[in-house]
Structure 1
Amino acid sequence: MSLMLPSESSAARSVVGVADDLFSALRGGEGALPPAESVVLVLVDGLGAIALRAHAGHARALTAGMAKKDVAHSVFPSTTAAALTSLLTGVWPGEHGLVGYRVLDSTRDVLVNQLTGWESEGLDPLTWQPAPTLFERARAEGRPAFAVGVAAYAGSGFTRATLRGAQFVSAQTPAARVEAAYELAERHPGAVVYCYLPEVDKAGHKHGMDSPQWIAALEEVDAALSVRVPPGVGVLVTSDHGMLDVPAHRQVVLDDTHLADVRHIGGEPRMLHVYVEPDADADRVALRWRSDLDGLADVATRAEAIGAGLFGPVVTDAAASRIGDLLVVARGSGAVYNGTAADQRGRGMIGQHGGLTPEERQVPYIRFGAFRR
């Protein structure tokens, strides 16, 4: 296997453990977090720990007192569909089944988008993602559960897959969302409240992480989180993944010779799921791709990736059927495009994620309120 695996310790904190950390705090604080009467999980989409530290002057509320150990690791692939679902269910992608951005629905032989394609592509949130959510677990214990986010996401399929069990509350700005989350936590003792802030991720994708727009988004989020936390409320600020900028000269476009014996290409440019034709030899295709992309990307077969534990210790049959015959993970700051018109349009995206670099996988684990050390 040519895949360069991450080197973090097996004991490193993962976003998979966040749900259990929060419940432990509500039950008396015998785990990673001290006791709290209510908890607020703030998710700053796309904010990596490395990028946050590099821009500490624009995020003084977030970085004040942030220690070296105040990080967690995202899952593989380091993309929203996989990582946010792990954060909100407490299980690895191999168990909840959202193993990438676009994956194969083998029962219909079509690619499906696990962020935006639930309705148009006929995915049932209750069966496609079967793991209980953080909010369903809270309700089972008799706890109030809320999700504060953007109104446009209230009824989406991805919301029903990851936020089911929560009462959805919408607010327009980061400041309004944080204020609403803190008010709910204070008004409902024992509550689990989730607050979603997508502004940093959106600015990074469109403009890049050193752009004025990205810095402005970070400053807006930091200002929102600089307000006082109500007494007894524990606040954990984290992210689903980080990102890095992909320059134009690091974009690799596959041509017809690469695509021989390939039926579908899913995933995203930093981490492709490659599905070969039924009569093709996946191992032979893997050898060709490794040769063609030598030094540009790592290539592993499905069996190699599962055996290495990239999708977690348990991989269900449903999840395995969605994983590519080959996985292609871009090295460094590169990205791999399949050459179709639709994929070419995505080459304008500057900030990207999905791979195994520390910039993509290290996320903040910052404590406010009752959680502050």
Structure 2
Amino acid sequence: MAQPVWDHPEPLTVESAPVPEYGSGSLAELLPTLAAGMGVPNQNATLTDLTPADRNCVFLIDGLGWEQLKAHPEEAPFMSSLLGSSRGGTGRPITAAYPATTATSLATVGTGLPPGVHGLPGYTVRNPATGELMNQLRWNPWTPPNVWQPHPTVFQLADAAGVHTAQVSSPTFQNTPLTKVALSGGTFHGRLSGEDRMDLAAEQLAAGDRSLVYTYYSEVDGKGHRFGVDSDPWRGQLMYVDRLVQRLAEQLPSRTALYVTADHGMIDIPFGEPHRIDFDEDWELRAGVALLGGEGRARHVYAVPGAASDVLTCWREVLGEQFWVASRDEAIAAGWFGPPDGIEERVYARIGDVVAAARDDVLLIASQREPKESSMLGNHGSMTPAEQLVPLLEVRS
């Protein structure tokens, strides 16, 4: 039986979870605000502190949370300078969506919609049509992308409105289903090196009187997962990506706004007990569970028919001092996946019968089912500030 890591006076309540700031300060509002400023129809400028620009670039750094950036000014001098107004812009945090994970966040950024609408509410979720777990990052098992996520991206809407639209990223991502449902629209340009991406992003910005360009870098996240936040390899990647941001900023054509952001932050979880609870070795947590989805700090739990209430009770008893544990309906009503009245019917059953989000420095691994994920030092997914807050840095030319 799993034992609590810390002794809190009361179990965590669903209402106490720090829900993402959907509608006012989350990743879902970024691209619609920029598109509205360029005259794209039916887009809302919700982030009212962003001044419209004719050309806009979003540089998304995978895994670089607000708290991690703030803690490393020496490794990221250029981005740290953007936390104030010394270069004509201001930096502040916004929230990712829940869960704070790449597939969910990229879909949230690209569509301008919360997870309860775009339908990618986790790392792995149940496909109601097949009963299988679907990995939405790797798109395995394959399912038709436009059926799984039918909404147009902001890039597609901008392209249709005559805005020059482009994505500049690794060639590996050009034809992936996740790119198709989250980031497609306009033209995709694959470049292997970060320097080539920055140079080409600047060229694409200059290619139109109105331009919307997206570029991406992944290895801050990769080094964090493997070696941990604040490790030497992670610091090295932060130093490198800081130079990339400066390289792009110094090439911006006139009338351009560059926004640097991220999909989630990260937290290191020590190995072994009591910080890692192994679902595959805990009979209480397994009882009544048909499928375990999500990831270690943001779990979707799918019960066998008729067992959802018992599973919820058990998970609250075992984990309730360390995790926010909610039923599907409770999590939806609390706004975890977006405005409660906006959850689409096709998305409803993808969400777990029970949803568990970590508050403490603890991870719910599955050593046999998920050996790779269970071995990672750096993790993310939940609603803590280290995971949920991401930077929104601005440079204008």
TM-score by length of 1: 0.93
Of 313, 332, 355, the residue aligned with 2:360 is 332
Equivalent residue number for residue 45 of structure 1? 62
Alpha-carbon separation, structure 2, partners of 1:364 and 1:186: 25
Q: How far off its partner does 1:44 sit?
A: 0.6
Aligned to 1:315: 343
Tell me which residue corresponds to 1:253. Answer: 278
Letter in 2 for 1:194: Y
Give the superposition deviation at 1:10: 7.5
Partner residue in 1 for 2:4: none
User: Aligned ranges for residues 31-110 of structure 1 at < 5 Å?
Assistant: 31-67=48-84, 70-110=92-132
SS of structure 2 residue aligned to 1:57: coil
Distance in 1 of aligned mates of 2:345 and 2:23: 27
Q: Which amino acid in the other structure matches residue 320 of structure 1?
A: Y
CA distance in 2, matches of 1:8, 1:274: 21
In the alignment, structure 2 segments of 5+ residues that lack a partner are 1-11, 85-89
- Measured in 2, the distance between the counterparts of 1:141 and 1:101 equals 32
Report if the CA contact (8 A) 2:108-2:182 is conserved. Answer: no
Looking at structure 2, the residues matched to 35 and 318 of structure 1 have their Cα atoms a distance apart, in angstroms, of 35
Matched, 1:226 2:252: no
- SS of the equivalent of 1:333 reads coil
Kept in 2, the 8 Å contact 1:175–1:221? The answer is no
Counterpart AA for 1:127: V
* CA shift in 2, pair 1:10/1:319, >3 Å: closer
Per-residue CA deviation, residues 261-293 of structure 1 (Å, 9 max, x unaligned), is: 11000000011100000132x122111111112
Question: Partners of 1:285 and 1:11 in 2: how far apart?
Answer: 32
Partner Cα separation in structure 2 for residue 300 and residue 99 of structure 1? 15
Aligned to 2:217: 197
Q: Distance in 1 between matches of 2:98 and 2:22?
A: 14
For 2:3, the equivalent position in structure 1 comes to none
The farther-off stretch of 96-105 and 21-30 is 21-30
- Partner residue, 2:318: 292
1:363 aligns with 2:363: no
Question: SS at 2:105's partner residue?
Answer: helix
For 1:16 and 1:346, how far apart are their aligned partners in 2?
Answer: 27
Confirm or deny that 1:20 pairs with 2:32.
Answer: yes
Give the CA deviation at 1:8. Answer: 7.4
Deviation at 1:124, TM superposition (A): 1.2
Equivalent position of 2:17 in the other structure: 5
1:236 partnered with 2:253: no
In structure 1, C-alpha distance between the alignment counterparts of 2:49 and 2:215, rounded to whole Å: 20
SS at match of 1:322: coil
Q: Which one-letter code corresponds to 1:271 in the other structure?
A: A
> Residue 154 of structure 1 is aligned with which of 174, 185, 192?
174
Pair 1:343 & 2:370 matched? yes
Does the CA-based 8 Å contact 2:23-2:29 persist in structure 1? no
Structure 2 contact 115–337 (Cα < 8 Å) conserved: yes
The amino acid that maps onto 1:292 is: V
Q: Is the 8 A contact 2:91 2:391 kept in 1?
A: no
The farther-off stretch of 20-29 and 218-227 is 20-29
Residue 12 of structure 1 and its aligned partner are, at CA, apart by 4.9
Paired position in structure 2 for 1:172 = 192
Q: Give unmatched runs, 5+ long, in structure 1.
A: none
Give the Cα–Cα distance (whole angstroms) in 2 for the partners of residues 224 and 75 of structure 1.
Answer: 26
**Identity %, equivalent residues:** 33
Alpha-carbon deviation of 1:323?
Answer: 0.1
**Cα distance, 1:163 vs structure 2:** 1.8
Corresponding residue for residue 327 of structure 2: 301
TM-aligned CA deviation for residue 233 of structure 1: 1.6
Decide which of 146, 151, 160 is 1:140's aligned counterpart.
160
Deviations 1:48-101 (A, max 9, x none): 011001011111111104148611111111111111111111110000000001
Asked if structure 2 preserves the Cα contact closer than 8 Å seen for 1:27 and 1:35, the reply is no
Say whether the 8 Å CA contact 1:175–1:225 is kept in structure 2.
no
Report if aligned partners of 1:21, 1:32 keep a CA contact under 8 Å in 2.
no
CA contact (8 A) 2:58 2:259 kept: yes
Which AA in structure 2 matches 1:235? L
Shift of 1:9: 6.9
Q: Give me the whole-angstrom Cα distance separating, in 2, the residues matched to 1:175 and 1:187.
A: 19
Asked whether the 8 Å contact 2:267–2:380 carries over to 1, the reply is: yes
Question: 1:257 offset after TM fit, Å?
Answer: 2.8
Deviation per CA, 1:215-266: give whole Å up to 9, x if none.
1111111001112122222111111111111111411112223211110000
- Normalised by the length of structure 2, the TM-score is 0.88
Partner residue in 2 for 1:210: 230
Whether the 8 Å contact between 1:42 and 1:194 is mirrored in structure 2 is yes
Residue deviations 1:81-126, cap 9 Å, x none? 1111111111100000000010001111100000102xx4121111
**Higher mean C-alpha displacement, 223-232 vs 93-102:** 223-232
1:88 and 1:163 in contact (8 A); partners too: yes
